[in-house]
Amino acid sequence: MEQQASLTNSWSLSAKVKDYMQLMKFTLSFTVVFSCVVCYQLAPNIAEINWKMTIILFVAGMLVTGSANAINQAEEKDTDAVMKRTANRPVASGRMSINEAWTFATIAGVIGLVMMYYYFNPLSAIVSLISLGLYAFVYTPLKKINSISVLVGAFPGALPCLIGWTAATNDLSMGGWILFGIQFLWQFPHFWAIAWVAHADYSRAGFKLLPADKGPTTFTAVQSILYSILMIPVGLLPYFIGMSGMVSFIILIIANLFILWQCIRLYREMDVKAARRVMFSSYIYLPIVLLALLADKL
């Protein structure tokens, strides 16, 4: 009986940990914090990797990002429940109460912001707070009102680059804004491709994420092309201000042209398959670009 009780408790603990991982959207949070950490390392005053500070930044970033995602799920409990891809989230499924999600979000957010303030500087904590607030309290409710939510959401989506930069430099200098710009523009073809693929699910929940009211149209594809074109000159700026060398310069050109080509294919083919290609291309674009910049510096 004791062994059975122990196994039950172990299973319950494992299930609870899994729920909290889902609540903070661990994979998404990891991706966001990855860009923050890389941009921290790209700062000019970081000569070599300090593993202690890197780990602290990673933990703090995961806490702040996890807090924002937990608030998002608490606020979108009902809409998550009607979408196939989100119905099994802990709050939407009823496995976790809204109060529990808010408690986690509050504790994680406060600890993460304090860590940014104490171990790095007040500026990085302020930018982190702005990012959390924009995502949780502006972008999240705006998704049901107007497709401009994608533009608004692109700011907290790109601010991790600036958070990493300010954590290292304690200023809002040009290098940080360029990294912010790269990630800011990348989000438009990325999120529109996701919204295209999951259009039926999002429509069922009342989300307005595509730029055209009629759903996946040529207008969305054209907008994706335009933002992909804008990504090209912004992606070359690190080279021209001396942040990177020729190797990353070439890699960024190839990566940007590849995204542009996928968006052009979306315009020509106008189907979910083409949108999925844009989506998966965007998934690999960001780590390739950031790691290319980092490798050039190291």
CA angle 141, 142, 145 (to 5 degrees): 110
- pLDDT tops 90 at residue 296: no
Across the chain, what does the average pLDDT equal? 92
Share of the chain above pLDDT 70, in %: 96
Q: What is each CA distance from 192 to 31, 37, 133, 175, 263, in whole angstroms? A: 18, 26, 23, 27, 10
Mean pLDDT, range 62-87, rounded to an integer: 92
Closest CA to 240 of 166, 167, 188, 174: 174
- pLDDT tops 60 at residue 8: no
Give tens-digit pLDDT for 160-199.
Answer: 999 999 999 999 999 999 999 999 999 999 999 999 998 8
pLDDT of residue 11: 56
Instruction: Give the pLDDT band of residue 129 (cuts 50, 70, 90).
Output: very high
Which pairs count as long-range contacts for 251-255, CB under 8 Å and 24+ apart, including other chains? 251/288, 251/289, 251/292, 252/289, 252/292, 252/293, 255/285, 255/288, 255/289, 255/292
Q: Which CATH number does 173-298 carry?
A: 1.20.120
Mean pLDDT, range 147-159, rounded to an integer: 93
How far is Cα 74 from Cα 66, in angstroms, rounded to an integer? 12
Verdict on whether the full-model pTM lies above 0.85: yes
How far is Cα 29 from Cα 26, in angstroms, rounded to an integer? 5
Q: Which CATH number does 1-172 carry?
A: 1.10.357.140
pLDDT of residue 271: 94
Mean pLDDT, range 215-222, rounded to an integer: 90
Q: Which residues contact 145 (CB under 8 A, 6 or more apart)?
A: 208
pLDDT of residue 7: 40
- Range of weakest confidence among 64-73, 196-205, 269-278: 196-205
Instruction: Give the pLDDT band of residue 71 (cuts 50, 70, 90).
Output: very high
Q: Where are the domains of the chain?
A: 1-172, 173-298
